[in-house]
Amino acid sequence: MAEKLDVRGLSCPLPVVKVRNKLTELKEGLLEVLVDTGTAKDNITRMANNNGWKVETKEQGEEYLLIINK
């Protein structure tokens, strides 16, 4: 069962900070993140990749679902 995080509507840098904290806590596994801006999507993807996590992006209308796993 994947952990879920909703960072929609949060200003920079809170989306990436919240996801980073969660990934640090998880260490490995699966995290699904709901994002609503391109900037947050890009920041989270870059941060996760830099820390060895793989990120799959699914567009859901005007939002994005990021599936992050390690």
Partner 1 sequence: MNLKNWFLSRKIIIITGAFIGIAATVLQKLGNPANMGICVACFERDIAGALGFHRAAIVQYIRPEIIGFVLGSLVAALLFKEFKPRGGSSPLIRFVLGFLAMIGSLAFLGCPWRALLRLSGGDGNALFGIAGLVAGVSIGIFFIRSGYNLGRNERTRPLASWVLSSIMVGLLLLLNFRTQLPTGAVFFSTEGPGSQYAPVLIALLIALVIGFIAQRTRFCTVAAARDVLLIKDTYLFTGVVSLVIAAWISNIVLGQFNPGFSGQPVAHTNQLWNFGGMVLAGLAFALAGGCPGRQLFLSGEGDTDAAVFVLGMIFGAGFAHNFATASSGSGPGVWGPAAVITGLIICLLIGFFMSDLSKKKKEVSV
Residues lying near partner 1 in the complex (CB under 8 A): 8-14, 16-17, 20, 36-39, 42-43, 46-47, 50, 62
**Amino acid letter for position 68:** I
State which residue, 1 or 50, has the beta carbon closest to partner 1. Answer: 50
Question: Shortest Cβ distance from residue 17 to partner 1 (Å)?
Answer: 6
SS3 content of the chain, % helix, strand, coil (to 5): 35, 35, 30
Question: Shortest Cβ distance from residue 12 to partner 1 (Å)?
Answer: 5
State which residue, 16 or 31, has the beta carbon closest to partner 1. Answer: 16
